[in-house]
Structure 1
Amino acid sequence: MNPVRTCLGCRSRAERSSLLRVVARDGVVLPDPSATLPGRGAWVHPTSECVDKSISRKALGRALRVAVALDTTQLERWPDRIHRA
């Protein structure tokens, strides 16, 4: 049985393999496609809709347990990279 995680954007449960793990490093939210970066991670569908919802709901800071404002620029660009490939 594959691990199941909850997307921060749409709040639906999905297999870990279909979600993108993100981590906070020095106040910046980084995509972690290999799911190997150290630290607490959160999961989101790699679509612009789910990424935008997770940012607007301020779910990233809560899920990553970070009290400072997070820079989400790199995460916002991530769905564009997937759709161009």
Structure 2
Amino acid sequence: MRIVAIQATAPVVVAPDLRRTLPGRGAHLHPDPRCLELARRRKAFGRALRTEGPLDLDQVIDHVIQNQ
């Protein structure tokens, strides 16, 4: 699953890009809860998307949980 950072808000929103058409730097994540938790623990989203500050991962978490 491709994810992108949407810079328009104060906490940077990380959203799934299911059509793979959203602009910006993207990163890939297996849509598996274990991979999501590992990426969160390692703080991989900030490094992969080259963004700083707090990240809002709610959309990604919801997508992974719904598609288990």
TM-score range relative to shorter protein: 0.7 to 0.9
The one of 37, 46, 58 equivalent to 2:31 is: 46
The answer to which structure, 1 or 2, has the higher relative contact order (CA under 8 A, 6+ apart) is 2
In the TM superposition, 1:13-32 aligns within 5 A as 20-26=1-7, 27-32=12-17
Pairwise CA distance, 1:24? 0.5
Query: Which stretches in structure 2 are left out of the alignment for 5+ residues?
Result: none
- Runs (4+) of structure 1 moved beyond 4 Å? none
Distance in 2, matches of 1:46 and 1:59, equals 15
For normalisation by structure 2, the TM-score amounts to: 0.87
RMSD of aligned Cα (Å)? 0.9
Q: Highest CA radius of gyration, 1 or 2?
A: 1
Decide whether the 8 Å contact of 1:52 with 1:76 is kept in 2.
no
2:55 match: secondary structure: coil
| Aligned residue type for 2:64 | P
For normalisation by structure 1, the TM-score amounts to: 0.71
Partner deviation per Cα, 1:20-59 (whole Å, 9 max, x = no partner): 0000003000011111110000000011111111111100
Distance in 2, matches of 1:51 and 1:37, equals 21
1:30 match: secondary structure: strand
Query: Which stretches in structure 1 are left out of the alignment for 5+ residues?
Result: 1-19
